[in-house]
Structure 1
């Protein structure tokens, strides 16, 4: 085969893979873009003003954003087995449910 045919086949394969993967990746990419846009819309314009005129407020905002992105703390070695025992959840009856009548 000549190199042009191989190039066309590779390009067609990449396009086909993109079309097949789009339904899987499309919603995830849209959600991450909306999340990024929502986070930077208000903070972008006022962040510069805070940084210049109120540095403490800007620093507090940076700390708050870092805390929002922190993962949950991992269990410590002395916490014991978290999978041991039974967990019982008691929920109040919803108004209008058969059990509440």
Structure 2
């Protein structure tokens, strides 16, 4: 005999997905459209920039490369981050 608990859990997960899709679907679709719009516009104008304004095209390539670079990691001899006293100044409360 098949244990009904895994089937009930699977049915619950699927039901929750169907119930949450109307809430989350439009937001996910909008962010995907925005991402596609930015990349498509940059690609079409990139050809024009490359031919007529090479400095602008090169600057855009540098900017794209900088967006993908990770933050530099500390070197072994740098010491602890934030060595010394830390002061947090709060505005006076009314």
TM-score (norm 2): 0.54
SS in 2 for 1:68: helix
**Per the alignment, do residues 39 and 88 of structure 1 end up closer, same or farther by CA in structure 2, a change over 3 Å counting?**
farther
Question: CA distance change for structure 1 residues 34 and 48 in 2, over 3 Å: closer, same or farther?
Answer: same
Counterparts in 2 of 1:30 and 1:83: CA distance versus 1, 3 Å? farther
Matched residue, 2:14: 16
Using a 3 Å threshold, how does the CA distance of structure 1 residues 78 and 88 change in structure 2: closer, same or farther? same
Aligned Cα RMSD in Å?
3.9
Partner residue in 2 for 1:51: 50
Does residue 81 of structure 1 match 2:80? yes
In structure 1, the gaps of 5 or more residues are 1-8
Runs of at least 5 residues in structure 2 that lack an aligned partner in the other structure: 1-6
Question: Which is bigger in relative contact order (C-alpha 8 A, separation at least 6)?
Answer: 2
Q: How many residues get paired?
A: 83
